[in-house]
Structure formats: C-alpha cells, structure tokens
A and B are shown apart, each in its own frame.
Chain A
Amino acid sequence: MNDTFDFGRFGKLFLYECKNYLPLYIKGLIVFSAFIAAMWIATIAFDFSFPDRKEAIAFLYGLAVFLSPYFVYKSVNDRKKGYSYAMVPASTLEKLLSMSLVSFIVVPVAVYAALTMTDAFLYMLSCMGMGRFTGISVYNPFVALAQFDELPFGNAMLASIWSISTGMMFNAIFRKNKIIKTVLFNMAVSFSMVIIGAVVTAGFSAETWNEIADFLNNFFEGYTPEEMFALCNTLYTFGYLLAISVTLTITYFRIKRVNY
C-alpha cells in the first residue's frame, strides 16, 4: 500500500468528504440564498430597489467562499470531534488535496450556482409581476475581482485561492474562535508591518529616498508602461504562488501533527 498518495484512495476520500459535508453545504447555501430572497422581499414590501444587486451578490459570494473552510472543516483539529477526521485511513497529502479541492472548487461552484439560480428564479417571478428584480445578475467572481483590484484574470484567481488557503491554514491552526482569531492575527500583522515600515523609513534621509528612486528608474529604464505592468503582474504571480505554497505547507504539517 502506498502510504503517501494513492489515486483510488484519494478519489474515495474526496467523494466521502463531498457526501459527508453535503448537509452543511445545503444549509449554508440556503442561508446565503435567503439573503437574496430578503432583498427581493424588500423590493416588494418596501418598494426598495437595489441599485447594484450584482455587488451584493459578489459580497455574499466572497463571504461564503472565504468563510467556508472554517465551517466545512471546523472540527479538523477539535480535541473531541476531530479524531474521526484524523483516523480516516488516508494520507495527510490526500487529506490536504481533498480539502483544497473542496475549498477551491466545490464550495465556490456550489455557492455561485446557488446564488445565481436563486437570483434567476426571483427574476423569473419578477417577470411574472412579482417584485422588481430586473435582469439576472450573472456575476463572474474572478472578473469582478480582476476589475476591483486591476489584476489580470489569472492573478485574480490566484488571489482568491490564496485567501481561501489562508483560511484553511488558520482553521487548522486555531482550535477555538477561529474567525475572530484570524481577523485579529491579520490586523496585528498588518499593523506591525505598518509600524515597522514607518519606523524604518522614518530614518531614511532625502538622499536615501533619491537613491531608491534612482534604483527604480534604472531598473525600469527601457520598459514601456505595458511591460512594467506585465513585469509587476509576473512578480504578483510568483508572490501568490509562494504565498499559497507556504499556507498549504503549514496546513499540511498542522494536519499531520495535530494532537487530539
């Protein structure tokens, strides 16, 4: 028996997890679809029209997808309930890959389908004279993210995967109050970086700033703005890939070594 990776065993694990978490998916999808239904009811009851329903759906999508690891794999490191996950006869690599597939593909597709279908269904009712939903809000999360951050499509997708993998990592690290601790941790890191940056750059003289500006000018000399943009995007791509690799590696070792 191959103890590192077996395709057949991985397939079984992936299907098992999809089936195991199905009730949770359904509940989550109902909750998020209910938000759209609430918007629709608001248009009927209070004659309220949403100027940009697409953005609201995009927000719901982002929230559902980025929070999903915290709900789907909530008990992965739980001292009492987590044992059943740890004892499934599959390797840590298979467990991580299955978790990644579920978090990166299954949940986003399911959430997207549920929100779009709910919206389409309510629009159909609107066409029948009920409510005022005008048009189906077909929303492409990656295109929207790309527009928002001015990122190319590929980097937008990597940014999304990085966010989800960060969620997977913190979900595996923290045992309780996972979401709050993740938010606080990110705030603390951001705050520290700003302070460190401010402290370091405060000591820079005008001469140092000029040297940095000269270095950047020399570095980008001969590049057209398009080429500079392309270079930055390539650096972003490597940055995202590195960040995803780091978060997945930490998640791997955490799953492998967590005590129950």
Chain B
Amino acid sequence: MIEVRNLSFSYSNVNVLDSISTTFEQGRIYGLLGANGVGKSTMFKLLCGLLTTKQGTIEIDGCSPAGRKPSFLSKIFYVPEDFDGPDMSIANYAAGVSQFYPNYDAALFARLLGEFEIDVTRKFTSLSLGQRKRAILALALSLRTDYLFLDEPTNGLDIPSKAEFRKMVAAAMDENRTIIISTHQVRDVENLLDHIMILDKRAVLLDRSVSDIQKEYWFDVTVNAPADALYVEPGLGGCCSISRNTTGEESRINIELLFNYINSKK
C-alpha cells in the first residue's frame, strides 16, 4: 500500500503540491487526473524516489522511496510520458532490465509485443514514438511489479493500440498490484479505472472509487438540462449532466464531465 501524508513539494519558488494526503491500495487501477502543472508527474517522481520529499512522507509497503533501495526499486516500474529508449534493440534492453525484476514473465512480454505488432529485434532509436511507447508498455506490464506508474500511457498510441492497451492492463491486473495511470486522455482509460483521484495544487479534489461515484452521481445525456442537475455541459445530442443518484441504479461515468464538475466547485 502507498501512503502519502501531508506531502508538499515545490520547484524553487513554484509550489506544486501542498499538503497532499492519500492512500493507494493494492488490487486497484487508479486514474490520476488534474490540470496541467498540478503535479501529476511530480507525484510519480516522488513515488519512485526520483525526487526527494521536502515536507511530508511517502511510504510504499513501509519503505521510503527516496532511499532508492534495490528491494524497493524491484517492486516498482515507471513509464514516463516521453520515453526515448536506449540505442539498443528491444530484446537486448528487455533482457538487461528484466534480470533485476524477480517476477518478470518473458512469455508474456513476447505475447504483448506480438499483440502490439512490435518486432523485438528493432532498435528503440529506429521506432516511432507510438512504437516505443508500445514496446515499453509491453515490458512494463511483463515485469509484473507490485506498483506500476504510467504517465500519459496512451499518448502517441494509435486507435487499435489504445484498445490493446486497455485489454492488456485489465489482463495484467491482479489483487497484489497497484496501477496508477495519469492521463488527460480520459476516454482512453474510462472503462479501465476503478478509482479516480483528481489532483489540484492545493488539495486532492476527489479521491473516490468508481462504484462510490456511481452510487452518488447520475450521469446522463438529455435534450434539456434536468432541473436538479449539479452540473451541465452542452454536448452532442443534448446536455451532458451530473445529478444526485436518487434511483440506486448505476450510470456510466463521464470522467471528463466529472472532472469539469469537480474543478468548477473548487
């Protein structure tokens, strides 16, 4: 489990995170959402120990990431938004990196690369951005680390690859893993997430499971805005709205609408 307590971080004089407290539990896929510059990538770097906390604490399975201990590092993997890759073939890179991760599944890696249509003998430097992204995502999922941090994983992926990505992440999930996905492309991961966290510089604006959100809110598209709507946006085919869920039934979450609603309340 990841426990973040009163976490504050700033770059020089620019305050990025301010007294953030939250937990990330095992067996869940978290969607980390927020406007540009609220500190989503910074949060990932802090979770990986790539940045040192200035105030507050982070503990992952009781271990502080900033120590960068091998036993901790072999439990996590981070895929940044821009992954250039080294000047070597995917096969060689995977062979080198995977030996440090005890749960690596070589057969899964081969299968995922096949599904992503990536030739393992090709060098990273000869691949397009989307292909590099697919290759590193395949590796990230096959390392089978307890914690996987994906920063904008669907950026650069074509439409079939996005569908493959969703399938792969869903298949890779088990009760011992925690996957945190930061993205602006919320529609790409809409059906994948089981917990949504909306981050702001000053606070965590929303930190709820998808089922809790569905129990509390009703998402609808109607010709006219409902009178009791909490938030309305014009959309194709009418008005997209959020209302209180009074029926007890569950509607499909429109994450973009939810994000805008939560941000409008701050």
Task: Name A residues whose Cβ lies closer than 8 Å to a Cβ of B.
Answer: 1, 3, 6, 9, 12-13, 16, 19-20, 22-24, 80-81, 83-84, 86-92, 94, 256-257, 259-260
B160 at the interface (CB under 8 A from A): no
Give the segment of B19-27, B66-74, B112-120, B255-263 that binds chain A.
Answer: B66-74
Distance between A96 CB and nearest chain B CB, rounded to angstroms? 13
Given the complex, which residues of A lie within 8 Å of B93, measured CB to CB? 20
Residue of A with least CB distance to B63:
A3
Interface positions, chain B 58-112, Cβ under 8 Å from A, are 68-71, 73-74, 76-78, 80, 82, 84, 86-88, 92-93, 96-97, 99-101
Distance between A207 CB and nearest chain B CB, rounded to angstroms? 54
Given the complex, which residues of A lie within 8 Å of B97, measured CB to CB? 16, 88
- Known contacts A83-B80, A90-B100, A257-B52, then 13 further A-B pairs from the complex at CB < 8 Å, ordered by chain A residue: A1-B70, A9-B100, A12-B99, A13-B100, A16-B96, A20-B88, A24-B87, A86-B50, A88-B73, A89-B70, A89-B71, A89-B101, A91-B70
Pick 27 A–B contacts, CB within 8 A, sort by A: A3-B69, A9-B70, A9-B100, A12-B100, A16-B96, A19-B92, A20-B96, A22-B88, A23-B87, A80-B80, A83-B45, A83-B48, A86-B49, A86-B68, A87-B76, A87-B77, A87-B78, A88-B97, A89-B74, A89-B101, A90-B70, A90-B73, A91-B70, A92-B68, A259-B51, A260-B50, A260-B51
Distance between A81 CB and nearest chain B CB, rounded to angstroms? 7
A259-B68 in contact (CB<8A): no
B50-A259 in contact (CB<8A): yes
- Beta-carbon contacts of B208-240 to A below 8 Å, as 1s and 0s? 000000000000000000000000000000000
Given the complex, which residues of B lie within 8 Å of A13, measured CB to CB? 100
Task: Name B residues whose Cβ lies closer than 8 Å to a Cβ of A.
Answer: 45, 48-52, 68-71, 73-74, 76-78, 80, 82, 84, 86-88, 92-93, 96-97, 99-101
B68-A260 in contact (CB<8A): no
Given the complex, which residues of A lie within 8 Å of B49, measured CB to CB? 86
Given the complex, which residues of A lie within 8 Å of B80, measured CB to CB? 80, 83
With A16-B99, A87-B50, A89-B100 as known contacts, state yes or no: A256 contacts B78, CB within 8 Å: no
Given the complex, which residues of B lie within 8 Å of A3, measured CB to CB? 69-71
CA gap between A19 and B68 in the complex, in Å: 23
Residue of A with least CB distance to B67:
A3
CA gap between A12 and B102 in the complex, in Å: 13
Distance between B213 CB and nearest chain A CB, rounded to angstroms? 33
Residue of B with least CB distance to A17:
B96
Point out which of B68, B69, B78, B93 has the most chain A C-beta atoms below 10 A from its C-beta. Answer: B68
CA gap between A22 and B88 in the complex, in Å: 9
Given the complex, which residues of B lie within 8 Å of A22, measured CB to CB? 88
List 10 A-B pairs, minimum CB-CB distance, nearest first.
Answer: A89-B73, A89-B74, A260-B50, A89-B100, A3-B69, A1-B71, A16-B96, A89-B70, A23-B87, A259-B51
Given the complex, which residues of A lie within 8 Å of B87, measured CB to CB? 23-24
Distance between A78 CB and nearest chain B CB, rounded to angstroms? 11
With A83-B50, A257-B52 as known contacts, state yes or no: A20 contacts B86, CB within 8 Å: yes
A80-B82 in contact (CB<8A): yes
Residue of B with least CB distance to A94:
B70
CA gap between A166 and B228 in the complex, in Å: 70
CA gap between A94 and B87 in the complex, in Å: 23
Given the complex, which residues of B lie within 8 Å of A83, measured CB to CB? 45, 48, 50, 78, 80
CA gap between A91 and B71 in the complex, in Å: 9
Given the complex, which residues of A lie within 8 Å of B48, measured CB to CB? 83, 87
Distance between A252 CB and nearest chain B CB, rounded to angstroms? 12
Residue of A with least CB distance to B69:
A3
Distance between B141 CB and nearest chain A CB, rounded to angstroms? 16
A6-B96 in contact (CB<8A): no
CA gap between A97 and B74 in the complex, in Å: 20
With A24-B87, A88-B100 as known contacts, state yes or no: A260 contacts B70, CB within 8 Å: no
Distance between B175 CB and nearest chain A CB, rounded to angstroms? 23
Given the complex, which residues of B lie within 8 Å of A1, measured CB to CB? 70-71, 74
Given the complex, which residues of A lie within 8 Å of B51, measured CB to CB? 259-260
